[in-house]
Structure 1
Amino acid sequence: MDWSSLLPVFIVLSSLVPGLLIFALREDQNRLRVLLNITGVLLKLALVGLMLWGVDRGMEFRFAVPFLPGGGLVLQGDALSLQFVSLSSVLWLATTIYAIGYLEDSPLRSRFFGYFSLCVSATVGLALAGNLVTFLLFYELLTLTTFPLVVHRGTPQALRAGRVYLTYTLGGGALLLMGVALLHSLTGSPEFVPGGYLQPLLDEHRSSLILAFALMIGGLGVKAALVPLHGWLPQAMVAPAPVSALLHAVAVVKAGAFGIVRVVYDVYGVEPVQALGLNVPLLALAAATIIYGSIKALQQQELKKRLAYSTVSQVSYIILGVALMGPMAAVGALAHLVHQGLMKVTLFYCAGNFAETLGIHHIRELDGVGRRMPLTMAAFTLGALGMIGVPPTAGFISKWYLGLGALEVGWDGVLLVLVISGLLNAAYFLPLIYRGWFGRPPAEWPDERPLGTGRPGLGETHWMLLVPVLFTALLALLAGILAGTGFSPLAWSELIINREFGL
């Protein structure tokens, strides 16, 4: 067993081991806890960078341990998994720094950062999963490791949100388990392959394949927040801002969307999905979720809930692009997996900064906040304009490719969905931008309090809350401006389609 086969394991362990060690720390061992967090994330980034270098040069990274007839634990690094792992690792760095500043004076930090690291391990393991059995294992671990983060505050609202979260996600896990078990009974659990591996079963097991697809999409659709399986997401907003950012940008909703990408392309394949007539209902479900989420976001007066319903809408752009079954739409979908993560994590960081520094939780309280916190409001503005799809932001790039992809395969009506959702995005984001920059500031903010260097008159907020916001906002902007370069998320998405899917 050489280093290339062990590298996927080391990437998972780089957050798992620090997380387990953090659980054993006392609350007053802050420096050691920070050291373990930062060491783990930097090690993971280095290992992911090494794997990116290898995959770009055609190297194979695969670790396998058989433990089931016809299947086993398989971790592999391919272009698709590396895109999700890279996003997870970069945002783990930013969110770790943000969380350290956010929870500076909070209790139970060892418990929080322990589960936080385990959550990242589950996300990375899910991304590197080489077959459905391994994916299912990490998918369920993700549920178990995120639940303590959702209920971290221990308030009645948090505990109620946790119960709702468990009800939805464990139910979704049960559906996914049934779908995986049904496929396993037909084929075993082969490794994911470009184009899928179910083509030979189309004639003999058509009904079983349709049922398995419905079960798996139902299970994955819970975490991806597809309507009507999205009810847990707005309620989970009672969690601390770093958790909200993690749930929306990479860990949970992206895990569901990423799973749908794997099932469609690497288990079933484009031609079998079309032959079974499964792409049309998936496309309709994604389109309905996009419009519904946008309408619900427009109705929310609490900032984090508006952002939550925006996530319901925005993540379904990924599923829409997959369901269109064309190469250009697929490129747009995979690019949006990264673009949405960068933009949404920025927006939740900003919401956390507003809440922790000034006590702002509702939209009516945003008036004039740009004069008090101009850098945070500038980052919020970039994230919001990206969500609307204003050029040259990253959101414009992915939506442009989705529109061209719809025309490419003859689904012209999808353009109407994109236009309507874009107008709704503008309707619920532009008023926030206007209030922030042009509204009249109040005589005093709802709950202004000093945070480190963020004392009134000396700065906006604690530097550990401000730096991650500016970092992710800059990445979101550069992902759009540099989309035509060879190292952008768009270019990597094109590589995936060309190398992995052969579309």
Structure 2
Amino acid sequence: MDPVTSIRPLLAVAVAGLAALAVLFLKNRERYRDAVSPVAAVVMFAIVASMAPAVLAGRTVDLKLFEILPGVDFAFRVDALGMVFATVSSLLWIAASIYSIGYMRALNEHAQTRFYACFATSLAAAVGGAFAANLFTLVIFYEALSLVTYPLVYHHEDEEAWTGSRKYLVYLMGASKSVLLAALALTYSIAGSLDFTPGGLLAGTGASAPLLTAVYFCYLFGFAKSAVMPMHAWLPAAMVAPTPVSALLHAVAVVKMGVFCVLRVIFDVFGTGLVAALGLGVATAYLVSFTILTASIYALTRDDLKARLAYSTVSQLSYIVLGAVLLSPVAMVGGIIHIAVHAFSKITLFFCAGSIYCASGKRNISDMAGIGRRLPWTMGAFFVGSLSMIGIPPTGGFVSKWYLALGSVEAGEVAFLVVLLVSSVLNAAYFLPVSYVAFFGAEPDNAAPVREIPMIAIPLVATAILSVAVGLFPGYFIALAERVVG
């Protein structure tokens, strides 16, 4: 089918950018300033959703803005893979914007105007990357996301924030300034273009296998937001940020931008045929399997709840890459679905961690005995999110892990089926004790009174419901994933 030319991809990005400007303009009128993000989030989601019917029908929504060099344009193209990422990001911005208002008010946080402005700009960068038509446009938004989220990580402006934000910037900007730019230059030299191409931009170029292999690993490690070990240390360090930042940016926008970029490289720069011919699929699968298991073991050792969630994210992101590099159609569908599943579930868990902190000031799991009886909505949602991360039906995590497991068998790679099963056991080992301690642990006699904060509790219950809904009704994301796989 012919592509649809439309300004809507640009409008989706512009809504968040204009929201950031409105936040700055209304800095002295707090009630209006705080209302900007929820309104903009609803508008952005409506624009993104309006393009879904065309994409589901097999068409793309295109918009070319201007040419940089021959074969290098600043352009947008909305396809099935981009729609998965954009749908998740724009939908969860609605919940995150409401949650952020409750969180920032409850703790009376400083620099709220800067926070909301950077928050909105980060969503503009994420959706811009989702709709990028080529590597050049993608990298522009990728780098913009790194820069604009730095003030969010550094928000508390103390020594811990400085240390964490410095590591965040060094990893994300350092990697891209070196190996990622090298990969872009080599790709342009080989193909004469940076456009995403079905079947692979580099397929059929005749470049040597060692050169293509080098380019591939430059992309894999250059897109450090994917947190494949050893390029993962920035993510736990960035947990010094306020919980809304951890929730949306480090459970959705930032980390998903990383794995999204890796999937773009696999599907549209190299193509699954070339990845298979070079033997890169199995090699990458072993690498991300190491990340899945090792990060899960690290999570087991962390008493700080946000740190445990951070290492869980490192592990869960590699499920997405594993599904893609198994090169089995079923596994690839599972990996793509996991983008949405992980986002809905992990943002719920981070929301719950923030709710606990706002209500009680507690961060360590060992201090949360009995808190579930006083924060039932929060810990009930945490339990639901945990079940999804483990892969228990009827949550969304079961659907994606089922596809990944079947895909491992379909690919004839039983070793990776074992990795999935072992990692699910590890997921249960580090998630379920949190709920057990919260609901059945003996509460200290001198425990201070705590209560649910409605503006925090409502969004986390909503995202917990989404975690189950995507398991009961996964058709939308499955249809988009099947469009990607072809």
TM-score normalised by L of structure 1: 0.93
Give the SS at the match of 1:200.
Answer: coil
Residues in 2 aligned to 1:236 and 1:417: alpha-carbon distance in whole angstroms: 27
Give the SS at the match of 2:67.
Answer: strand
Residues in 2 aligned to 1:151 and 1:178: alpha-carbon distance in whole angstroms: 29
Residues in 1 aligned to 2:240 and 2:82: alpha-carbon distance in whole angstroms: 30
Which residue type is aligned with residue 473 of structure 1?
A
How has the CA–CA distance of structure 1 residues 3 and 210 changed in structure 2, closer, same or farther, with 3 Å as cutoff?
closer
Structure 1 residues 260-306: Cα deviation after superposition (integer angstroms, max 9, x where no partner):
11000011101111111211221111100000010000011111101
Counterpart in 2 of 1:197? 201
Residues in 2 aligned to 1:91 and 1:85: alpha-carbon distance in whole angstroms: 10
Report whether the alignment pairs 1:321 with 2:323: yes
Deviation at 1:192, TM superposition (A): 1.3
Deviation at 1:188, TM superposition (A): 2.6
Counterpart in 1 of 2:17? 16
Residues in 1 aligned to 2:342 and 2:327: alpha-carbon distance in whole angstroms: 21
Deviation at 1:59, TM superposition (A): 4.2
The answer (yes or no) to whether the contact 2:323–2:404 under 8 Å persists in 1 is yes
Counterpart in 2 of 1:186? 190
Give the SS at the match of 1:265.
Answer: helix
Structure 1 residues 204-254: Cα deviation after superposition (integer angstroms, max 9, x where no partner):
43332221111111111x211111111111111111000001233211111
Structure 1 residues 58-85: Cα deviation after superposition (integer angstroms, max 9, x where no partner):
4431111211222110111111111100
Give the SS at the match of 1:62.
Answer: strand
Greater CA drift, 57-66 or 400-409: 57-66
Counterpart in 2 of 1:368? 370
Which residue type is aligned with residue 212 of structure 1?
V
How has the CA–CA distance of structure 1 residues 275 and 18 changed in structure 2, closer, same or farther, with 3 Å as cutoff?
same
Give the SS at the match of 2:73.
Answer: strand
Structure 1 residues 447-479: Cα deviation after superposition (integer angstroms, max 9, x where no partner):
x5xxxxxxx5xxx32211011100100000111
Identity %: 42
Which residue type is aligned with residue 264 of structure 1?
I
Deviation at 1:3, TM superposition (A): 8.8
Which residue type is aligned with residue 87 of structure 1?
V
The correspondence for 1:475, drawn from 455, 466, 472, is 466
Kindly report structure 1 stretches of 4+ aligned residues shifted beyond 4 Å: none
The correspondence for 2:274, drawn from 269, 272, 282, is 272
Residues in 2 aligned to 1:444 and 1:495: alpha-carbon distance in whole angstroms: 57
Give the SS at the match of 1:199.
Answer: coil
Deviation at 1:163, TM superposition (A): 0.5
Deviation at 1:491, TM superposition (A): 3.6
Which residue type is aligned with residue 394 of structure 1?
G
Report whether the alignment pairs 1:173 with 2:176: yes
The answer (yes or no) to whether the contact 1:74–1:129 under 8 Å persists in 2 is yes
Counterpart in 2 of 1:379? 381
Counterpart in 1 of 2:482? 494
Residues in 2 aligned to 1:71 and 1:4: alpha-carbon distance in whole angstroms: 19
Report whether the alignment pairs 1:107 with 2:145: no
Give the SS at the match of 1:76.
Answer: strand
Which residue type is aligned with residue 192 of structure 2?
G
Give the SS at the match of 2:193.
Answer: coil
How has the CA–CA distance of structure 1 residues 277 and 148 changed in structure 2, closer, same or farther, with 3 Å as cutoff?
same
Residues in 2 aligned to 1:315 and 1:117: alpha-carbon distance in whole angstroms: 23
Residues in 2 aligned to 1:264 and 1:381: alpha-carbon distance in whole angstroms: 34
Residues in 2 aligned to 1:367 and 1:375: alpha-carbon distance in whole angstroms: 16
Report whether the alignment pairs 1:297 with 2:299: yes
Give the SS at the match of 1:73.
Answer: strand
Which residue type is aligned with residue 350 of structure 2?
F
Report whether the alignment pairs 1:308 with 2:310: yes
Mapping for residues 80-159 of structure 1, pairs under 5 Å: 80-104=81-105, 105-159=108-162
Deviation at 1:157, TM superposition (A): 0.3
Equivalenced residue count is 480
Structure 1 residues 419-469: Cα deviation after superposition (integer angstroms, max 9, x where no partner):
1111111111111111111111222447x5xxxxxxx5xxx3221101110
Counterpart in 1 of 2:72? 71
Deviation at 1:392, TM superposition (A): 1.6
Which residue type is aligned with residue 183 of structure 1?
T
Give the SS at the match of 2:6.
Answer: helix
The answer (yes or no) to whether the contact 1:136–1:177 under 8 Å persists in 2 is no
Give the SS at the match of 1:418.
Answer: helix
TM-score normalised by L of structure 2: 0.96
Which residue type is aligned with residue 494 of structure 1?
E
For structure 1, the 5+ residue unaligned runs are 449-455
The answer (yes or no) to whether the contact 1:358–1:445 under 8 Å persists in 2 is no
Mapping for residues 338-353 of structure 1, pairs under 5 Å: 338-353=340-355
Which residue type is aligned with residue 306 of structure 2?
K
The answer (yes or no) to whether the contact 1:237–1:304 under 8 Å persists in 2 is yes
Counterpart in 2 of 1:452? none
Residues in 2 aligned to 1:81 and 1:423: alpha-carbon distance in whole angstroms: 32
Give the SS at the match of 2:187.
Answer: helix
Greater CA drift, 126-135 or 50-59: 50-59
Counterpart in 2 of 1:219? 222
Residues in 2 aligned to 1:235 and 1:29: alpha-carbon distance in whole angstroms: 34
Which residue type is aligned with residue 81 of structure 1?
G
Counterpart in 2 of 1:441? 443
C-alpha RMSD of the superposition: 1.5
The answer (yes or no) to whether the contact 2:4–2:59 under 8 Å persists in 1 is no
Structure 1 residues 3-40: Cα deviation after superposition (integer angstroms, max 9, x where no partner):
942111001001011112312333x4112212322221
Counterpart in 1 of 2:8? 7
Residues in 1 aligned to 2:4 and 2:190: alpha-carbon distance in whole angstroms: 34
Structure 1 residues 88-133: Cα deviation after superposition (integer angstroms, max 9, x where no partner):
0011111100001111132211110000011000101111011001
Which residue type is aligned with residue 133 of structure 1?
F
The answer (yes or no) to whether the contact 1:132–1:189 under 8 Å persists in 2 is no
Mapping for residues 354-365 of structure 1, pairs under 5 Å: 354-365=356-367
How has the CA–CA distance of structure 1 residues 114 and 53 changed in structure 2, closer, same or farther, with 3 Å as cutoff?
same
How has the CA–CA distance of structure 1 residues 426 and 60 changed in structure 2, closer, same or farther, with 3 Å as cutoff?
closer
Residues in 2 aligned to 1:188 and 1:445: alpha-carbon distance in whole angstroms: 66
Counterpart in 1 of 2:455? 464
Residues in 2 aligned to 1:444 and 1:128: alpha-carbon distance in whole angstroms: 53
